[in-house]
């Protein structure tokens, strides 16, 4: 495995790469104003040949249709390159949106530990 490399550190999107795994951490709100950063991070990581791309929802507080579209584009690009894409730390609210849009079946989803969340 290679050394960790930070690719992007723009406010709502942080991309890192270690060996054949890329991780994109989302922070705050991902909407039409931030989605370009997400697209760029996905393109850069997949361009480095990662076999697995993880999009981490841990610190995400809001996402809209622009983010959903970016996730669909990311999935398509990952498939073209025979890479796996996983959504990690998906809370129940984000999961509901993914379910309603039909995307929950399109991604491998690692749920967030709901015991730590307040109601």
Residue found by looking up tokens 């809209």 in the block: 64
* Helix/strand/coil for 90: strand
* For range 91-105, the mean pLDDT: 95
Q: How many domains does the chain have?
A: 1
pLDDT tens digits, one per residue of 13-71: 999 999 999 999 999 999 999 999 999 999 999 999 999 999 999 999 999 999 999 99
- Is 119 a member of any domain? no
Domain range for 42 is 5-114
* For range 67-81, the mean pLDDT: 97
- Is 54 a member of any domain? yes
Residue found by looking up tokens 């579209």 in the block: 69
β-pair partners for 21: 18, 52
* For range 1-14, the mean pLDDT: 64
- Is 18 a member of any domain? yes
Residue 112's pLDDT is what? 86
Residue 119's pLDDT is what? 35
- Is 14 a member of any domain? yes
- Is 31 a member of any domain? yes
Q: What is the CATH number of the domain that holds 16?
A: 3.30.750.24
- Is 85 a member of any domain? yes
């Amino acid at each position: 495995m290679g050394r960790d490399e930070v690719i992007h550190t723009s406010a709502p999107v942080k991309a890192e790469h270690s060996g054949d795994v890329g991780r994109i951490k989302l922070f705050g709100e991902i909407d039409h104003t931030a989605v370009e950063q997400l697209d760029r991070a996905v393109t850069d990581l997949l361009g480095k040949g990662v076999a697995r791309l993880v999009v981490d929802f841990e610190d995400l507080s809001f996402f809209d249709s622009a983010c959903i579209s970016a996730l669909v584009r990311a999935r398509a690009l990952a498939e073209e390159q025979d890479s796996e894409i996983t959504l990690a730390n998906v809370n129940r609210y984000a999961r509901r949106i993914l379910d309603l849009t039909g995307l929950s079946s399109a991604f491998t989803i690692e749920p967030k530990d709901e015991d730590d969340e307040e109601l």
